[in-house]
Structure 1
Amino acid sequence: MTDVKGFSTRAIHYAYEPMDNEGALTPPLHLTSTFSFETAEAGSEIFAGDRKGHFYSRISNPTLDLLEKRIASLEGAEAGLALASGMSAITSVLWTLLAPNDEIIVDKTLYGCTFSFLQHGLAKFGVKVTYLDLTNPSNLEESIGPQTRVVYFETPANPNMRIVDIEKCAKLAKKYGAKVVVDNTYSTPYLTRPIELGADIVVHSATKYLGGHGDVVAGLAVGEAETMQQIRLYGMKDMTGGVMSPFNAMLVLRGLKTLTLRMDRHCLNAASIARKLEACGGVSKVWYPGLESFEQRPLAEKQMSGFGGMIAFELEGGLESGRRIMNKLKMIRRAVSLGDTETLIQHPASMTHCTYSPEERLSHGISDGLIRISVGLEDQDDIWSDLNQAIND
């Protein structure tokens, strides 16, 4: 059923026909490491790429293949690639696209492990890493040059919700032949489709909203078919070995079936909680794209069909107030990750973004008092009641 147009329908049906699989409504789970060949000649042809087929699950697997086709369809890309984690997706892509003396331009706010890979990984292998405030596209226009191979950013950014104009950055990058790589974990393809706005590659931590249930670690990347094949055979196969297991692919496929419903509820709950936080005494600032006070609200409306489930806020009293309030929570879980059914709260400076030095956090827009909430699927009143008692008790 590959001709269906609706997003939700494709998330459930795309690239799978039950009657081709003995009527099984749920796609089969192929728990095999290797595949046999009909003949020696057939094996040679598959290895050479002259015939379609699977020969080893580190390269491809039917369960992963279905997930790759489905996420590519949802993102509007030619091809997808399933990987072991979000960081495996990021590193496999960048190891493939970059070489010594190349430059990568990145936004100044990134997930902590991404920052660490760039700052302490790629940089020591001769790749120039340039940090810019990409919320102002003129900064990219002034800095990009012939050695720039990649422009990389998250939007919204983890953890402070900054938004980058994908379309404007993509147009500037294309003038210099640089590829634009966007981490779309916060938005998912349901809310933002960077490929349609000019990006070349999209990466995801599928651990988050795509899986949606906090029971899987997985990554995905999508883009043009030839580039994705290069990443499969070099960045993933040879450089990182970050291969997704078939069982994890099955869990992400399950998650995609309810992505639309869950994201609608995440957005609804987060918008309500953000408004209440903004009106709450003791809260000095709230960052959520759906708030009228959010400085980049017009851009959010332009490239997002909804404002997501993530909120950042700062309390009067800074870090100590944040720790005190987090310790008073009863239902909301103190945990990293995001996109789960449960509401999760964490302190980026001491948790997910601790790989930054204090000076780096300050210059990259991550204050010590910033608190991040991944708003879950519980009843709004219960989420707010827990937050409110912790803040005002």
Structure 2
Amino acid sequence: MSDRLPGFSTLAVHAGAQPDPTTGARATPIYQTTSFVFNDADHAASLFGLQAFGNIYTRIGNPTNAVLEERVAALEGGTAALAVASGHAAQVVVLQQLLQPGDEFIAARKLYGGSINQFTHAFKSFGWNVVWADPDDIASFERAVTPRTKAIFIESIANPAGSITDIEAISTVARKAGVPLIVDNTLASPYLIRPIDHGADIVVHSLTKFLGGHGNSLGGIIVDAGTFDWSTGGKYPMLSEPRPEYHGIRLQETFGNFAFAIACRVLGLRDLGPALSPFNAFMILTGIETLPLRMQKHCDNAKAIAEYLAGHPAVASVSYAGLPNDKYNQLARKYAPRGAGAVFTFSLKGGYDAGVSLVSKLQLFSHLANVGDTRSLVIHPASTTHSQLDDAAKIKSGAGPDVVRLSIGIEDKEDLIADLEQALGA
């Protein structure tokens, strides 16, 4: 191949992969094994001492997973990545490297309901404290910064409302505070938005969603941008201080611009254990090969359906950044010119009862708690994904009682509109 840098679609098919050297297999094999044979005692010692790269045990790394990691890192423009069992696992592993008991992180209030629950309740048992900020008010992030702040967490396209976050503006706040910006890029995928290009230091995904794309495999991934200096100010001892379990190695000093990805692997994944199955890695790799084709169809369908709903008499409002009159349309034009994503919400004039009724009457849309499938999906967040929140918090997160969330698939848009028409009419 020439010196030309491969395009996005080429990377989606080829990044990280080579024909299997033993068999010549073109597809990446599923290395369904727990462990790997060492060449000799010295080889084993060098692997365990982080003096050489290689395979030890599938909880820590696996060749199938390694292809997936390299591919997503290439698509996101990062230096390295680590695949884990789920998007939630990715968030735990990331924050374990950054936070000590009593530390704080700032999170955008508009997040997936499961993340809100994880941050508010589960992380309390680790002594990690979340401070909420409003992504529509950048100054609220600045006001939330304290000496205990160790990170800022946002979603590029927020779930469930599909609102676009001003990544660059919040990155400026993070830089001023001397903390990394973590961006959950699940709803956008790198096809629509590459947060690292806009100042993110760490990117996470639920691979379960658009990257895998077929609703068949759980997974999560962490991408290291290689942009943050972990030695500054002694804030991040997991990376800057000698690691006793590795004979005093300082990860920042030894591994440079991919030190965070290494820390997540050898300190987080190794000890917490949320390993991704090689079979799931294989399935997600296969899904990524068609990511550019799927995402464009998702977005084109979503815009057509949002336009239809915006004109329906039973609909009070539609929140979709791809609509010209939407409050996030300018941000969508800046960050996601190919399309504003495939997940959005709309409000029904009949309120809570109308939302619950609608999801039961749809026939082509599947009523389930997922997004990013080839199939179109629907859910009423207030009674499901955001049900643990009080009404005020539901509204702040974009999941008020009258709100219905759609994840638009790749079916013919005319069929999806017809299904909505019959359900709204009923």
Normalising by structure 2, report the TM-score: 0.89
1:376 to 389, 409, 413: 409
Cα distance in structure 1, aligned partners of 2:300 and 2:392: 36
Confirm whether residue 339 of structure 1 aligns to residue 339 of structure 2: no
- Cα distance per residue 1:33-61 (max 9 Å; x no partner): 00011111111111111122101010011
1:349 to 373, 382, 392: 382
After TM superposition, list the pairs within 5 Å mapping 1:197-236 onto structure 2: 197-223=198-224, 224=226, 225-236=258-269
Cα distance in structure 1, aligned partners of 2:410 and 2:60: 36
Q: Which amino acid aligns with 1:269?
A: N
After TM superposition, list the pairs within 5 Å mapping 1:1-393 onto structure 2: 4-18=5-19, 20-223=21-224, 224=226, 225-239=258-272, 241-305=273-337, 306-393=339-426
Secondary structure in 2 matching 1:162: coil
Report deviation, 1:281: 0.9
Report deviation, 1:155: 2.3
Structure 1 residues 54 and 3: alpha-carbon distance in aligned structure 2, compared to 1, 3 A threshold? farther
Secondary structure in 2 matching 1:195: helix
Report deviation, 1:280: 0.7
Report deviation, 1:135: 2.2
- Cα distance per residue 1:235-290 (max 9 Å; x no partner): 22213x11101000000110110000000100110000000000111100101110
Between stretches 32-41 and 93-102, larger displacement belongs to: 93-102
Cα distance in structure 2, aligned partners of 1:362 and 1:271: 24
Could you tell me which runs of 5 or more consecutive residues in structure 2 were left unpaired when the two chains were aligned: 227-257
Q: Contact (CA 8 Å) 1:208, 1:214: kept in 2 or not?
A: yes
Q: Which amino acid aligns with 2:142?
A: E
- Cα distance per residue 1:74-123 (max 9 Å; x no partner): 00000011010111111111122111221111111211221111111223
Report deviation, 1:355: 2.6
Q: Contact (CA 8 Å) 2:161, 2:319: kept in 1 or not?
A: yes
Cα distance in structure 2, aligned partners of 1:284 and 1:378: 26
Secondary structure in 1 matching 2:321: coil
Report deviation, 1:164: 1.6
Q: Contact (CA 8 Å) 2:161, 2:343: kept in 1 or not?
A: no
- Cα distance per residue 1:2-58 (max 9 Å; x no partner): 974200001101122226353311111111100011111111111111122101010
Between stretches 323-332 and 337-346, larger displacement belongs to: 323-332
Partner residue, 2:251: none
Secondary structure in 2 matching 1:196: helix
Report deviation, 1:216: 0.5
Q: Which amino acid aligns with 1:355?
A: Q
Cα distance in structure 2, aligned partners of 1:129 and 1:288: 28
- Cα distance per residue 1:175-229 (max 9 Å; x no partner): 2211111111100000000011110111111111111111101111101310111
Secondary structure in 1 matching 2:55: coil
Q: Contact (CA 8 Å) 1:4, 1:14: kept in 2 or not?
A: no
Q: Which amino acid aligns with 2:388?
A: T
Count residues with an aligned counterpart.
392
Secondary structure in 1 matching 2:317: strand
Q: Contact (CA 8 Å) 1:113, 1:355: kept in 2 or not?
A: no
Q: Which amino acid aligns with 2:285?
A: L
Q: Contact (CA 8 Å) 2:110, 2:135: kept in 1 or not?
A: no
Report deviation, 1:145: 3.1
Cα distance in structure 2, aligned partners of 1:324 and 1:354: 17
Q: Which amino acid aligns with 2:320?
A: Y
Report deviation, 1:171: 1.6
Could you tell me which runs of 5 or more consecutive residues in structure 1 were left unpaired when the two chains were aligned: none
Secondary structure in 2 matching 1:152: strand
Q: Contact (CA 8 Å) 1:343, 1:375: kept in 2 or not?
A: yes
Report deviation, 1:124: 4.1
Q: Which amino acid aligns with 1:293?
A: N
